[in-house]
Amino acid sequence: MEFRHLGRSGLLISEISYGNWITHGSQVEEEAALACVRAALEAGITTFDTADVYAGTKAESVLGRALRSERREGLEILTKVFWPTGPGRNDRGLSRKHIMESINGSLRRLQTDYVDVYQAHRYDYATPLEETMEAFADVVHSGKAHYIGVSEWKASEIRAAHALARELKIHLVSNQPQYSMLWRVIEGEVVPTSQELGVSQIVFSPIAQGVLTGKYQPGQEPPAGSRATDSSGGAGFIARFMSDEVLTRVQRLRPLAEQAGLSMAQLAVAWVLQNPNVASAIIGASRPEQVHDNVKASGVKLDSDLLKAIDEVVDPITERDPAKTQSPAKRP
């Protein structure tokens, strides 16, 4: 496993991190989830990403139990705040009230005194950014988080938050966007702005919800038990990639992966890591063997001819519109 600095900070994170979005506490039974975390640790992954909203707070609890016997100083634990975690009007968003209550809940579920990076899961248009950043500063200054990050924020929003963070003497070091061969909307504005400010990307869905593994065939029903058949939420996220045009193009990546001596999943993860602004690619898993396969992308260098060949295959189906950097997350 190789490691990269997170933003312009001194914090090193594993270039492949383990995330438990829509797996732990929902799709995957706890015994299987614990086996996947053990596989990640054995592979050298030290960075673990979760969020309070995942599986209605259950995912944080599962991760906390999975990591409780590990040396805390040897791990980087990241979580997030924004989406609803209760029925109340203030159980959501980035108000001071919700941030202060949410960090305490996350720490309790994760069984730790602090998180390494506390991330704003979306931009809150209903709360002044100054209020949000001042609350984050208090979280950091109280020792409950070391660094601050955001997720799926636009370039202008990252710039404004970064300026306030400097004034408040805290470090905004990361953005967590969706990024893959098929979804490159951050490249036009978010990445250049982040590079200028010293902010890294920790990217999710590098395998495009499993589509880039090649397991979904055009004109065929999805395999039983796959994410595309998950009625609890997984199918909704993957739907944008399930057209025959996309699936046909993805199959054309198979010989390129074989040429590079990689599996399709390894090629997809290695591809996002070629972007110098990406500090880590988040992988998820329902089985330990998926972890073992994906981590082999660490340290892989793809040559320029291969990168060009990949672009030629996926260019007609790749989304690059910066306006799609995030879906508006306006709350009532």
Positions marked active-site: 54
Which residues, 6+ apart, have CB-to-CB distance to 75 below 8 Å?
Answer: 46, 47, 48, 67, 116
Q: What angle do CA 275, 2, 175 make, to 5 degrees?
A: 45
CA-CA-CA-CA dihedral for 232, 238, 243, 249, to nearest 10: -150
- β-partners of residue 149 are 119, 174
CA dist 162 and 149 (Å) reads 10
CA dist 151 and 104 (Å) reads 20
CA dist 133 and 213 (Å) reads 39
Q: Sign of dihedral through CA atoms 269, 195, 3, 59?
A: negative
DSSP 252-280: TTHHHHHHTT--HHHHHHHHHHTSTTEEE
Query: Which amino acid makes up residue 45?
Result: I
CA dist 105 and 78 (Å) reads 14
Q: Which two tokens stand for residue 215?
A: 């397991």
